[in-house]
Structure 1
Amino acid sequence: MARNCAGACFQIDLGEFELRILYCSQNYCPHDHRFLTALNGTEHEIFWLRLEQDRRTQEARPLPEGIKEVSWREPATRTGWLDYIGLKKKFAAVLEEVQPDVVHAGPIQRVALLPALAGFHPLLSMSWGFDMLEDADRGPLWRAATQYVLDCSDWFAADCHTVRRKAQTFGFPPERMTIFPWGVDHEIFQPKDRGFMRRQVGYEEDLLIVHTRSWEPRYGVDVMLEGFWQAIQQQPNLRMFMLGGGSQEKQVKGFVKDKGLEERVLFCGYKENESLAQYYRAADVYLSASHVDGSSVALMEAMSCGCPALVSDIPSNLEWVHDGREGWVFKDGSSKSLADRIVEIARNRREVPERGAAAQLKAEQDADWGRNFGKLLQTYQKLAPQ
């Protein structure tokens, strides 16, 4: 099948392709790379449009070969609400050139708003968790944008039931939703050589905690550090690997220095998947103090490596971690509750392997990226013009 496009740059023979998908995202992050890599391996032709280009590189790997990047606006690091007046016209021009069968867009208010404003159908709006659980409640304008996008969407994708329930409060019908945790690659994230990695790292007399969340307010990094420091006052044999970075880097490193934790908190930087899995295998416990989350990929990665989780008791975390089974939970926002659980775990380390085995089993059953990605492809087929 050949299609005529308004722009010569898109006049391509599509005989080998089944559907033409326009994948729209806010930036280019590891999650985008994973989606685009998987989509690149399908029979579909994939175009990618990014809304913004952050000053901080979130994903260093190049765009997968075969993905067609759409150049549509001057690079921008931020997009204000008034910018959408002009962007609506630019996006409409993209639709004329690409002529997609399906537009797949998210986050909701920032990105899916573009095809909604342009009146495109079929539109698959995909939540990134924080957009529905945090941004939708930031104020009247954000709530109105959320409602508008959902009203214009033909289908809604969520990574957990917590997000599904939030979408239903906006009146979106559950029969037009696909729920799929983004999942992990079990070939990379698996518990093999877990004991060996622990011995290689050392600190075998200590409880070793790994933290991989971005250093951003929504992920409760301040609560995590304060709880860790309080726990050390009672249980000195604690260490933590902190991976990644973020906008709170100055505060994080200042806290560690001020509290004299340089020998107890080790900053490890950003790691690619293969290296990241080794940190999960070496650690006794994965820690997240997030205030807002969907189905956290980092949580699923840790669990898949047999690393039990210590997480805040927000609803989405509780879909993955039952207290005393796949790990432990503490009261969201409470550094004291976190400290108490850390001390409890350190004093009962014999329970860690059992919790880790249960965590790995849960991830194996529910967090398989290959199987879950298939649900997205099925959704495309449902939406595609017949």
Structure 2
Amino acid sequence: MSALSKSGHSIYWLRLEDRGRNLELRDLPDAVHPVLWRNGKGKVHWWQYPDLVRKFNRVLDEVKPDLVHAGPIQPVSIIPAMAGFHPLVSMSWGFDMLQDAERNNLWKWATGYVLKRTDHFFCDCHTVKKKAMAWGFPEDRITVFPWGVDLNTFSPSEKKKMGKELILLSTRSWEPRYGMDVALKGFAQAIQENPQLHLILLSGGSQAEWITSFIRAHQLEKNVELRGQIDNTTLAEVYHSAHIYLSASHIDGSSVALMEALACGTPALVSDIPSNLEWVTDGVEGWVFRDGDDTDLARKILHIAAHPDLRTAAAVNAREKAERNANWEKNFSILLDGYVQAMKEGQR
């Protein structure tokens, strides 16, 4: 949003749902115009969509946008698709195409409906691109836009210390798709052999009760630190305080948190899902373990702890990977180029 607000374009922002949990502590940039277009908070249900489309049409009449950029696919992009607006840029959030698209017949229908009415498709990894193509979306109308990070803000630090202690960091939301149960179970196994392991957990979510109960039941209070949601201005310091970034996600696109960690020179330990493998090669920018396998995760944690020298080379490789593929200043132009292409496609 900040970058778009400085692009010379007029930006209007609509929010579909407000479930009371704030995942972003920063305010909208002054140049971004929030549009209050619906009343109420909480989850939006399918039966509400005809009314939402009517309200969205009123917004279109008032704002008269040249382009609409919407996502995730099924719950959000379907609104401008039902309104018949063009050019429509539909942007996948990863899970919408990799998981939700096959959830049931309704979600399958919604996925196909949106894609048939989308002028240009944005995704953040090649894994999702392949999925969209499997749904019949033309490759030449797909832009892979891997987001990126500010490489000056997220940069290596000399604060990390070598030694027997190993500090792991997870920033993922406490939701089933992110494998927090696998992360904790693997850590609990590893700590039985190496009590000098520490785990920092940021964020929160629907599994909060299970996570806190698991920590108590396995007497991990001294080894697991819960920090909740933190301000973005201090996020780089948290990456610097850890030796390893941990993600046990089952479903993901190109994770911005993973990019931030790599940019900070913090090697990653991630599940071997295809989107993670676009960023981490085992033994290069970090390490991978079998998705859903907490025992394999424990083995990898112990291996990394026993060979601290491996982290030095991995840290260098991690930063180099971020410089090549996660440079926000470079990647932002991909977004703007995609908009230009979408405008041409929307006029066909």
Report the TM-score, using the length of structure 1 for normalisation: 0.87
The CA distance in 2 between the partners of 1:373 and 1:116, in whole Å, is: 25
Higher relative contact order (CA closer than 8 Å, sequence separation 6+): 2
The CA distance in 1 between the partners of 2:25 and 2:233, in whole Å, is: 15
- Code of the aligned partner of 1:45: S
Q: Provide the residue aligned with 1:379 in structure 2.
A: 338
5+ long unaligned stretches in structure 1: 1-35
**1:167 pairs with 2:126:** no
Q: Provide the residue aligned with 2:3 in structure 1.
A: 38
The CA distance in 2 between the partners of 1:384 and 1:312, in whole Å, is: 38
Q: Provide the residue aligned with 2:195 in structure 1.
A: 236
Report the alpha carbon displacement of residue 278 of structure 1 after superposing the two structures with TM: 1.0
Between 101-110 and 241-250, the greater mean CA deviation after superposition: 241-250
**1:123 pairs with 2:88:** yes
Question: Retained in 1: the 8 A contact 2:95–2:251?
Answer: yes
Between 239-248 and 159-168, the greater mean CA deviation after superposition: 239-248
Which of 177, 202, 209 in structure 2 is aligned with 1:218? 177
Report the alpha carbon displacement of residue 281 of structure 1 after superposing the two structures with TM: 1.4
Q: Provide the residue aligned with 1:277 in structure 2.
A: 236
Q: Provide the residue aligned with 1:18 in structure 2.
A: none
**1:360 pairs with 2:325:** no
**1:113 pairs with 2:113:** no
Question: Retained in 2: the 8 A contact 1:188–1:273?
Answer: no
Q: Provide the residue aligned with 2:107 in structure 1.
A: 142
Number of residue-to-residue matches in the alignment: 345
- Code of the aligned partner of 1:260: Q
Q: Provide the residue aligned with 2:270 in structure 1.
A: 311
The CA distance in 2 between the partners of 1:243 and 1:168, in whole Å, is: 35
Question: Retained in 1: the 8 A contact 2:163–2:308?
Answer: no
State the identity as a percent. Answer: 52
Question: Retained in 2: the 8 A contact 1:286–1:299?
Answer: yes
Please tell me the root mean square deviation across aligned C-alpha atoms, in Å: 1.3
The CA distance in 1 between the partners of 2:34 and 2:299, in whole Å, is: 49
5+ long unaligned stretches in structure 2: none
Which residues of 2 match residues 57-136 of structure 1 at below 5 A? 57-136=22-101
- Deviation by residue 1:165-196 (Cα, 9 ceiling, x = unmatched): 000111000100110101111111000xx332
Question: Retained in 2: the 8 A contact 1:195–1:282?
Answer: no
Which of 9, 16, 20 in structure 2 is aligned with 1:55? 20
**Local SS of the residue matching 2:41:** coil
Report the TM-score, using the length of structure 2 for normalisation: 0.96
Report the alpha carbon displacement of residue 204 of structure 1 after superposing the two structures with TM: 5.0
The CA distance in 2 between the partners of 1:75 and 1:81, in whole Å, is: 15
Report the alpha carbon displacement of residue 330 of structure 1 after superposing the two structures with TM: 0.4
The CA distance in 1 between the partners of 2:339 and 2:268, in whole Å, is: 34
- Code of the aligned partner of 1:351: L
Question: Retained in 2: the 8 A contact 1:308–1:326?
Answer: yes
